[in-house]
Homo-oligomer: A and B are copies of this chain.
C-alpha cells in the first residue's frame, strides 16, 4: 500500500502541478473533486464519474454520519466499497454542514451538539469523533473539525472561531496520530480560518504549520464574499504554507475561481456547482455558461461541444437537451452533470499540462478568450 505523499512535479510562478499519492491511488493536481454528498455523485454511475477524468471524490461526513451512519458504512466495507469508488476519497469534517443544515443545540470548547435535518435526532461532533467517523468511512484524506462562519462577520467573532478551530486542529491532529491513521498511510489536513482578515489568516496558517499537518485547507471562503476578497486571502495565506504539502481550497468554485486560485498555488478544489447547476439546466463549457432552458436551443440540432470528451456533449443535440431540461427529465440532469464534470476535469487537465510546460498564463488567457467569445451562434 502507498502511503500519503505529495510529489511536486513543476511550478509556473505560484502555480504548481504534482501528484498526491494515497492508499487508493494517485490524485493529479491541480485537482477538482466532484462532490458525492450521500455516497453518490447525483445522477452519475461511479464508472461514469471516473470517465470524466476525476481522480478523487469528496464525501460529506455530516450526511453520511446521519444516513446510513459511519459504523454501518464501516461494517459494509467502508465508503470505497459501499459506493463502488475504488479511487481516492477525501471527506470533510462535517463542521460546515452542521452549521448550515443542522440545528445547533450547543457549541462549546468540547465540540458541537446538533439535531439532524432528516429526523431531528441528536448527535455530537467533537474533533476526536470527526476523526473517528472519517476513519470509519475509510477516507484517504480527512479534514479537521472547524467552525466555519458566514461572511460578513465581526473581527472578534472571526478571531474567536479561528482560535477555537486551532485548538480543535491540535486535538484532531493528536487523535489522528494516536489512533494509528497516520501510520496506516492516511492523511488529515488542518484548515486555515480567519474570515476576510489578512492578519487572522496569517496567524491561523502559521499555527497550523506548527502542528505539521500532511496538508492544508483554506476554509471559510466562498461563503458570500466577493471574488477579490477570496483571492486576497489566498495571496496572504498561501505563502505561509509549506511548498511540499498540498493545499486545498474548500467549496470553490466557478471555472474562473479555479484558474485564479491555481495561479496562487492551490492544488485541490471541491464544489457542488457543476453538479447542482447541471440539475438546474446550467452548463459550464469552453464557450462560457449556457442556460439550456433558453428557447434559442429548442430547434438547434448541434451538440454542446463536439470537442468535449463527454458523450453527452458530443452525441446529443442542444434541442434534445433543452427538451429534457424543460420537461424536468432525469436524463437531462444526468447528461448535463456529465457535461459539467467533464468540463471541470478538462479545465484542470489543461492547467496541469500548461503548468508542466511553463505556459500557465497563456493557457488561462486562451480559456478566458473562449469564454469571452461566448457560445456559438444559434442556427
Q: A50 interface residue, CB < 8 Å from B?
A: no
Neighbouring B residues of A324 by C-beta, 8 Å: 39-40
Do the beta carbons of B45 and A334 come within 8 Å of each other?
A: yes
A279 (CB) vs chain B CBs: closest residue: B330
Tell me which residues from 42 to 87 in chain A have a Cβ below 8 Å from any Cβ of chain B: 42-45, 67-68, 72, 75-77, 82-84
Contacts A38-B329, A76-B301: A43 and B334 contacting too (C-beta < 8 A)?
A: yes
Contact pick for A40, options B42, B75, B82, B331, CB 8 Å: B331
Do the beta carbons of A45 and B76 come within 8 Å of each other?
A: no
Q: A276 interface residue, CB < 8 Å from B?
A: no
Contact pick for A319, options B42, B68, B316, CB 8 Å: B68
A75 (CB) vs chain B CBs: closest residue: B299
Do the beta carbons of A323 and B42 come within 8 Å of each other?
A: no
Q: How large is the interface on A (under 10, 10 to 19, 20 to 34, 35 or more residues)?
A: 20 to 34
Neighbouring B residues of A40 by C-beta, 8 Å: 324, 329-331
Do the beta carbons of B331 and A42 come within 8 Å of each other?
A: yes
Contacts A72-B298, A75-B299: A331 and B44 contacting too (C-beta < 8 A)?
A: yes
Do the beta carbons of B326 and A67 come within 8 Å of each other?
A: yes
In the bound complex, CA of A334 to CA of B337 (Å): 14
Q: How many copies does the complex hold?
A: 2
Neighbouring B residues of A363 by C-beta, 8 Å: none
Neighbouring B residues of A43 by C-beta, 8 Å: 330-331, 334
Taken residue by residue from 330 to 341, chain A's Cβ proximity to chain B (1 for < 8 Å, 0 otherwise) reads as 110110000000
Q: A1 interface residue, CB < 8 Å from B?
A: no
A323 (CB) vs chain B CBs: closest residue: B68
Q: A287 interface residue, CB < 8 Å from B?
A: no
Q: A317 interface residue, CB < 8 Å from B?
A: yes
Q: Which of A42, A44, A315, A319 has the most CB of B within 10 A?
A: A319
Tell me which residues from 312 to 371 in chain A have a Cβ below 8 Å from any Cβ of chain B: 315-317, 319-320, 323-324, 326-327, 329-331, 333-334
Do the beta carbons of B39 and A82 come within 8 Å of each other?
A: no
Q: How far is the CB of A197 from chain B (nearest CB, A)?
A: 38
In the bound complex, CA of A225 to CA of B24 (Å): 56
Neighbouring B residues of A315 by C-beta, 8 Å: 84
In the bound complex, CA of A324 to CA of B330 (Å): 15
Neighbouring B residues of A326 by C-beta, 8 Å: 67-68
A327 (CB) vs chain B CBs: closest residue: B38
In the bound complex, CA of A77 to CA of B324 (Å): 17
Tell me which residues from 1 to 58 in chain A have a Cβ below 8 Å from any Cβ of chain B: 38-40, 42-45
Q: How far is the CB of A277 from chain B (nearest CB, A)?
A: 15
Contacts A298-B72, A299-B76, A331-B45: A39 and B320 contacting too (C-beta < 8 A)?
A: yes
Neighbouring B residues of A316 by C-beta, 8 Å: 84
In the bound complex, CA of A84 to CA of B314 (Å): 12
Q: How far is the CB of A26 from chain B (nearest CB, A)?
A: 24
Q: How far is the CB of A369 from chain B (nearest CB, A)?
A: 32
In the bound complex, CA of A77 to CA of B45 (Å): 30
Neighbouring B residues of A84 by C-beta, 8 Å: 315-316, 320
Given A39-B324, A82-B317, A83-B320, output 13 extra A-B contacts at Cβ < 8 Å: A40-B331, A42-B329, A42-B330, A43-B334, A45-B334, A67-B326, A67-B327, A72-B319, A76-B299, A76-B319, A82-B319, A84-B315, A84-B316
Closest 8 A/B residue pairs (Cβ):
A43-B330, A40-B331, A68-B323, A38-B327, A40-B329, A76-B319, A42-B330, A82-B320
